[in-house]
Amino acid sequence: MLPIINQILHIQIASSVEAAEEPKFEYKSRIADDRGDNLFIELPLHEATGHYKRLLLGDELSILFITENGVKHYFNTHVTGFEEDSIKLIRIQKPEPQAITRTQRRHYLRVAAELEVAVLTSNGDRFTTLTDDVGGGGISFICEGSWQLEQGCSIQCWLLLPYKNGTIDHASFKAEIVRANQLTTGRSHVMTKYVDMPDFERQKIIRYCFERQLEFRHR
């Protein structure tokens, strides 16, 4: 079941490379609005200190909410934008109903980044494009709407990774499309998750994400 407007959310924010082994949901927030593929939440409040948390675009969140009958539900999401209403609201990606579970899943840091990625589809089509965001669990990118990319399809990707020290590396991986939305421009916004990814390839991407996150926080 999906969370509803005024639902209280308990939040863990990915502030390190990977989620802690014993995650703590230290922040809480409230859903202020629900529009299309997005939820709008209030600034997260640290339950112990009473301080508000400033979130950045791309921050990945692990969220717990509790239904009226006391059942805990978990989902992972990320910050997609901000909106100034009577109060500042944070826009997050609304989860698919099937992505909401009763057990917490491991999650990785995700950052907004435009990186070059080469894609090979299961039909043998090849193209290059730019990512929208990247993370240790998957990437999203925007491409021409003419490519046959649907939910559940498998693709092979080669991702260019420029590191802070000036070196450039590549990560090669297989991914599954979890969502493909057509934009008003006619292009497609494609979200993926990694499939059977070797750990050494994942670590290349996690390293880039960590460097990128530090860059955001030092601005």
For 134-180, what is each residue's pLDDT tens digit?
988 899 999 988 888 888 899 999 999 999 899 999 999 999 998 88
Annotate 130-152 with DSSP letters as a single string: EEEEEESS-EEEEE-TTS---TT
Domain identity same for 65 and 117: no
Would you say the pTM of this structure is higher than 0.75? Answer: no
- Asked if residue 115 belongs to a domain, the reply is yes
Residue 155: the pLDDT is 95
Residue 104: the pLDDT is 58
Residue 211: the pLDDT is 85
Q: Please say which residue of 107, 133, 162 terminates a domain.
A: 107
- Asked if residue 3 belongs to a domain, the reply is no
User: Rounded to an integer, what distance in angstroms lies between the CA atom of residue 184 and that of residue 125?
Assistant: 24
Residue 219: the pLDDT is 60
Contact between 92 and 80 (Cβ < 8 Å) = yes
Annotate 193-218 with DSSP letters as a single string: EEES--HHHHHHHHHHHHHHHHHHHT
pLDDT lower than 50: segments of the chain: 16-22
Residue 18: the pLDDT is 41
User: Rounded to an integer, what distance in angstroms lies between the CA atom of residue 44 and that of residue 136?
Assistant: 23
Residue 101: the pLDDT is 86
Q: Please say which residue of 107, 131, 156 terminates a domain.
A: 107
Q: Please say which residue of 107, 126, 151 terminates a domain.
A: 107
Contact between 9 and 64 (Cβ < 8 Å) = yes
DSSP 191: E
Domain identity same for 18 and 116: no
- Asked if residue 98 belongs to a domain, the reply is yes
> Alpha-carbon torsion 75, 29, 81, 108, what sign?
negative
